[in-house]
Structure formats: structure tokens, C-alpha cells
Amino acid sequence: EQAARHARTAPVEGLDRKKGRHVEQQTLAGKTAVVTGGGSGIGEAIARTLAEEGAAVVVADVDTAGEVVAKAINDDGGRAAFVAADVISEPSVAGLMDQAVTRFGGLDILVANAGIAEVKAPVHELDLAAWQRVLDVNLTGVAICNKYAAAVMVAAGRGSVINMASILAHVGQANSQAYSAAKAGVVNLTRSAALTYARQGIRFNCVSPGYVDTPLVAGLPDEVRARMVERQPIGRLARPEEIAQVVAFLASDRSSIITGACINADGGYTAI
Ligand code: NAD
């Protein structure tokens, strides 16, 4: 009986103890990822999914919620560290990428996911301070993160960058100016960076989610949520984990031929 118990509890070579998955099945084993906005919603799901795929993950966020996410990943048998970082500050982002290299020995994947929503208003009532804030975080923040990640990746001769766009990069929405402009900027920033680094082994892609069931959306009034569901041909909101799966694919070598692309993960929203 003792031998049988030992057989059940003995570590199996190559098996991830907590998750029961074979290490060889993990698509990101040995890689290091930085996920900005990793403390909540889509970013949290991305951080967890990349860790499950074997990556060491730096959870970067202005909010200390990122610390909770990193701890949960570590408790679950993965490898993660929280780094407080503000994507609109160059010194902060430079320090973030340095931390990834120092703690985990390199930087293979950047997911520039941090973003903020805007207060909707018609363009003739545009509040320029609010416009600037949304452009700063959602577009310039992505550019700054791409800049400091690319610097590390060029030296290493490899890397995969995934920038978070939105369906509103591709289609308009009444009273949404800054967010739509910023996200459209993210798509073309990504394409140009892809062309710049295509011969250097660094891929740049983006993901455009439709409406996703994150804390942000959960806090909206029922009628607003119902309208969101109605607009998605699939008839439901996306789960953050579904967006994370697309990001994990783009992060992995399984997508080695894909660069400069934008994958719409939107339940058919932009197919209409
Ligand atoms: P969220 O608010 O749940 O999470 C965003 C995270 O980013 C937060 O933890 C926040 O603290 C962090 N953050 C904000 N500003 C930051 C800064 N300056 N530096 C570092 N971190 C910062 O949002 P979410 O719904 O998970 O959205 C994540 C991304 O997906 C955003 O880029 C958003 O525009 C995009 N997106 C979301 C949806 C949706 O339906 N939720 C749809 C399309 C695109």
C-alpha cells in the first residue's frame, strides 16, 4: 500500500506538479513575458495563461492588484513577479524591462495591454485634457513599451510583441473619439514596427477584442451590458481567457509566420 501511495505522489519527470501538464506540452517554456495592465481583467487572464504555458511572467501595473496576480501565479506553481510601472513614463518602462531581464534572464514576449476607457462625449464637446490622457495611456504608452522591449529584443535577435487594440480601431462608435483614435494608432504602429524588425526575428502583432466581461464592463448598468451582448453576433460577451488564448498563440512559435497582423477576437462584431 505504501508503494502504491509513493507511486501516486512521486514527481513524474517533465510533469508540472500543480497543473498536471507535461512541460513539453507548454508552448512558452523557458520564455519571459512582460504583461502591462496585468493586475486586472484581460491582462490578468493573459498573465495567468502565459504562466500556464510555461513563461516566467512580469505582471506590470500602476495598481498593486498586480501583486495579487503575481502571487496567485506563484502559488499555482508558475513563475511571476510584480513590477509597479506606469506605461506613460519612460524611466518607469525602462526599469520594467530591466527588471524582466534581471529577474528572469531575458525578455521574449511583451504584451502591451494596459489601457483606459474614455468618458464618452460628442466631438464638439471634446475635453482636450481627457483626450490627451486617453492618447497618452492607450497609444503613447504602447509606443514606449514597444521601444524599451524592442531594444532588448534586437540585442537578443528574437521576440514577440503583442499590442492590445480594440474593435474600435476598425469601426467607429458614436461619442468615442480618443479611444477609437488611439486604438487605430496602435494597429498601424504595430504594422510599421513589424516591417522595421521583420528581418531581425522580432514579430509585432495586435489583438482587437470585442466586448469582454472584465470588471470594467461588469460595473456598467444592466441595459448597457445588454446592448453590448446584442451587438456581438455570438450573443455573449467574451471571457478574458478567450482573449488570452489568442495572445498566447501570437506569443508562441506556433505563430512564427504571423507579423504585422491584427486578430479580431470579437465574436463576429466586425464581420457585419
Ligand atoms: P481593466 O481596467 O480591467 O484593466 C486595465 C489595467 O491596466 C488595470 O489593472 C490598470 O491599473 C492598468 N493600467 C491603467 N493605466 C495604466 C498605466 N498608465 N500604466 C500601467 N498600467 C495601467 O481593463 P480591461 O478591460 O482588462 O482592458 C485591457 C485592455 O483591453 C485595454 O487596452 C482595453 O482598451 C482593451 N480592450 C478591452 C475591452 C473590454 O471589453 N474590456 C475591449 C476591447 C479592448
Is residue 137 within 6 Å of ligand 1 at its C-beta? yes
Place of cell 496576480: 69
Q: At what angle do helices 178-197 and 128-135 cross, to 10 degrees?
A: 30
C-alpha distances out from residue 113 to 15, 77, 89, 154, 235, Å: 31, 24, 15, 21, 25
Atom of ligand 1 nearest to the CA of 209: 43
Q: Is 197 a catalytic residue?
A: no
Q: What is the pTM of this model?
A: 0.94
Residue 81, beta-bridge partner list: 58
Which of 49, 62, 211, 264 gets mutated to test ligand 1 (max ligand atoms within 8 A of its CB)? Answer: 62
- Rounded to whole angstroms, how far apart are CA atoms 88 and 183? 16
Query: How far out from the chain centre does Cα 81 lie?
Result: 16
Compute, in angstroms, the gap from residue 37 CA to the centroid of ligand 1.
Answer: 6
Is residue 28 within 6 Å of ligand 1 at its C-beta? no
User: What are the two backbone dihedrals, phi and then psi, of residue 262, each rounded to the nearest 5 degrees?
Assistant: -130, 120
Amino acid at 136: D
Amino acid at 195: L
Atom of ligand 1 nearest to the CA of 138: 32
Q: Is 85 helix (H, G, I), strand (E, B) or coil?
A: coil
pLDDT tens figures, 148-190: 999 999 999 999 999 999 999 999 999 999 999 999 999 999 9
pLDDT tens figures, 82-113: 999 999 999 999 999 999 999 999 999 999 99
Place of cell 520594467: 96
Please say whether the beta carbons of 93 and 148 come within 8 A.
Answer: yes
Whole-number percent of the chain with pLDDT over 70: 92
Please say whether the beta carbons of 207 and 265 come within 8 A.
Answer: yes
